[in-house]
Amino acid sequence: MTTVEQVFDLYSAQEPEGWRVELVEGEICVTSVNDGRHTQIVADLRDQLTDPDRQLSAYTGIGLRVPPRGPGGPGERVEGRVVPDLTLALRGSFRNELVWQKPAPVLLVAEVTSSFTAHRDRAQKVGAYARAGIPVYLLIDREAGEAVVRSEPSGDEYGRTAVHRLGTPVCLPAPVSCTWETTEL
């Protein structure tokens, strides 16, 4: 019997350049290359979060392992593998040769919605990132014109959620502790 992980590994080994394959809440998801606006939002966020004095690095394209959902029986609990649009961690946190990293050093993950990923970014990834203990999940929801900041992970959820209109300053809580200016988005 072929497992979800085996099928995922097969898809991952054959992904075309620029595409990404993720395993989110037991579902294999294949996502196409990003559009220019998506890429610009990620670049602007990266530039603002990586002040050299802060000793932080913003990674794009890094794979993270996230805990499975629910108790489930044998074979039902599938560890997730996600590739956030942006991952913020202390500089040097991923100096290894692993393809799928443990999320322990991650301070923030950010996802920018597209028509293909919006549902996953708004729903499924919230639980995955909370279970992984990632302190801040920033969702840039282009369709809604909002930046949703989730913090204080506990179980499958985040204890705090703040919604900001794009075009206004977005306060990112500890351990990031800075303001992201979105006036040019």
pLDDT tens track for 96-110: 999 899 999 999 999
Compute the distance between CA of residue 6 and CA of residue 2 in angstroms, rounded to an integer.
6
Quick check: 140 pLDDT over 90?
A: yes
Reported as a single tens digit per residue, the pLDDT across 2-47 is 777 777 776 676 766 767 777 787 777 777 677 888 889 999 999 9
Q: What is the pLDDT of residue 67?
A: 94
If one looks up domain 34-180 in CATH, what number appears? 3.90.1570.10
What residue segments make up the domains of the chain, in order of their start?
Answer: 34-180
DSSP secondary structure letters along 85-140? SEEEEETTTT-S--SEE-STTEEEEEEE--TTTHHIIIIIHHHHHHHTT-SEEEEE
Higher pLDDT, 127 or 6: 127
pTM of the model: 0.85
Quick check: 73 pLDDT over 50?
A: no
Neighbours of 129 (CB within 10 A): 28
Higher pLDDT, 112 or 69: 112
Q: What is the pLDDT of residue 72?
A: 55
Please give the C-alpha separations between residue 30 and each of 70, 137, 164, in angstroms, as whole numbers.
23, 21, 29
Q: What percent of the chain has pLDDT over 70?
A: 91
Mean pLDDT of the chain: 88
Listed residue (45, 36, 12) closest to 176, CA to CA: 45
